[in-house]
Amino acid sequence: MTADAGTSSSLDRTAILAIVREQLAEILEKSPEDIPEDVPFSDIGADSLALIELVEALEENLSAYVAGFHIDDEDLEGLLSVRDAVDYVVVKLQGS
Amino acid sequence: MTLPIALDAMGGDFAPSQIIEGARRAVDELGLQVILVGVPDLLGDPLGLEVFACSEVIAMDDDPAASVRKKKDSSLVRAAELVRDGNASAMVSAGNTGATMASALLRMGRLPGVVRPCIATPIPNPGRTPTVLVDAGANAECTAEMLVQFAQMAASFVSARYGVASPSVGLLSIGEESSKGTPLVKETHELLTGMAGINFAGNVEGRDLIPSPVDVVVTDGFTGNVALKTLEGALKFIFSTVLEVIGTNETTKAAGDVLFEYLLPIASQLTPENQGGALLLGLNGICVISHGSSNATAIMNALRVASEMDQAGVVEKLRTTIRPDQN
């Protein structure tokens, strides 16, 4: 999903979850419905390189809402599942 | 208009001097166009070649994925961007293999339908076209579906690069029988058997890598890398032992004088520096990974391979192989 131009306030948790799922599904060549929220990335075939792909895709996508949206490399270790990633983005957007 | 090949001038044990010398030779001896990507203050004399300036270098021991994110102005990342942006026809690097793959993957992207790119290493096969080993180290853990896709991409590559009409594919295992091997090997065997578009020849063993009865040997990246390094080590040992024996006394030296004429062409064919490196298959662009210890000759050959890949339209052929319905 390509986010429409807008502001961070137009993105709720459901919308962010959809974006994360869609981006990861594209990277893993799966359907978004096959991307569970609570299963560790490693268990759905997402290795470190796939996660970096996800991070870069999210930064590009979410920059449509918050200019220069960036995920800190130091925070990556804490992102172990889709839920972690969504929670992280929600907090990050709230603080923007 | 022929585009230049982007060469990472900072990557490799003998960078930048041997890299630049190899580029110069590729221009002079092969007529290729090459653009060096490097840090001007560290490059030394570019020998009259065009330089695309950057400010950072990804070291051989840097973490691959993290370094690509942190060092966005590195020679590796910039080389991949030159290909992505249509300013270079291919990229070549003798640097950090993981970072080369990460740079190429993140900047060029994957071909539609490709789950994971893989490293394809041509292994010389005296008397016939090389046998391509996939995956030679990009993906330590694989699924059967990934191995099947590696086989498809490698067969398409062999067909485009070496003109083999229906490349035979062998699955690396510990026995020729379909019942031999790990669960991954058995599942892959089942998927490949009778698969349309794949000339599956069944299981092959480690001893079948050289000389090989098949055009493609498919395995996971962990096993492939171990097999490849074992082969390299064994060949190196054999070469050095033969040379040592020949130098034993006057009689053996005289025998060596006679034999060298026959042995040197074989040795030349098997020497890694003449192979041109490994290829990353599955990307939306051409990326050649040269050996970390590449000298000028190895770099020249890697540039030659990159050019030949471009001329053969390998990327487009892979695109058709993976998603025939979208062409």
Q: Domain segments of chain B: what residues? A: 1-114+282-313
Whether A31 has its CB under 8 Å from any CB of chain B: the answer is no
Chain A residues whose CB is inside 8 A of the B105 CB are 49, 53
Q: Under CATH, which architecture does the A8-90 domain have?
A: Orthogonal Bundle (1.10)
> Does A49 reach chain B within 8 Å, measured CB to CB?
yes
The domains of chain A are located at: 8-90
Question: Does the distance separating the beta carbons of A28 and B141 come in below 8 Å?
Answer: no
Q: How many CB atoms lie within 10 A of CB B320?
A: 15
Q: Which helix (H) or strand (E) holds B191?
A: helix B183-192
pLDDT tens, B20-57? Answer: 999 999 999 999 999 999 999 999 999 999 999 999 99
Residue B225 and residue B142 in contact, taking contact as beta carbons nearer than 8 Å: no
ipTM of the complex: 0.71
CB-count exposure of residue B71 (10 Å: 0-12, 13-18, 19+):
buried
Q: Which residues of A touch B101 (CB under 8 A)?
A: 49
Q: How far is CA B111 from the centre of its chain?
A: 18
Residue recorded with tokens 């996971």: B220
- Please indicate if any CB of chain B lies within 8 Å of the CB of A37: no
Gap from B69 CA to chain A (nearest CA, Å): 8
User: CB neighbours (10 Å) of residue B233?
Assistant: 10
B213-261 per-position pLDDT tens digit: 999 999 999 999 999 999 989 998 998 999 999 999 999 999 999 998 8
Q: For the domain covering B1-114+282-313, report its CATH number.
A: 3.40.718.10
A85 touches chain B (CB under 8 A): no
Q: Tokens for B12? A: 């490799």
pLDDT digit string (tens) for A59-87?
A: 988 988 888 888 888 888 889 999 999 99
Q: Which pair of tokens denotes residue B236?
A: 């190196």
Q: Count CB pairs under 8 A between chains A and B.
A: 28
Q: Whole-model pTM? A: 0.87
Helix A13-28 vs helix A82-94: crossing angle, to nearest 10: 130
SS3 A38: coil
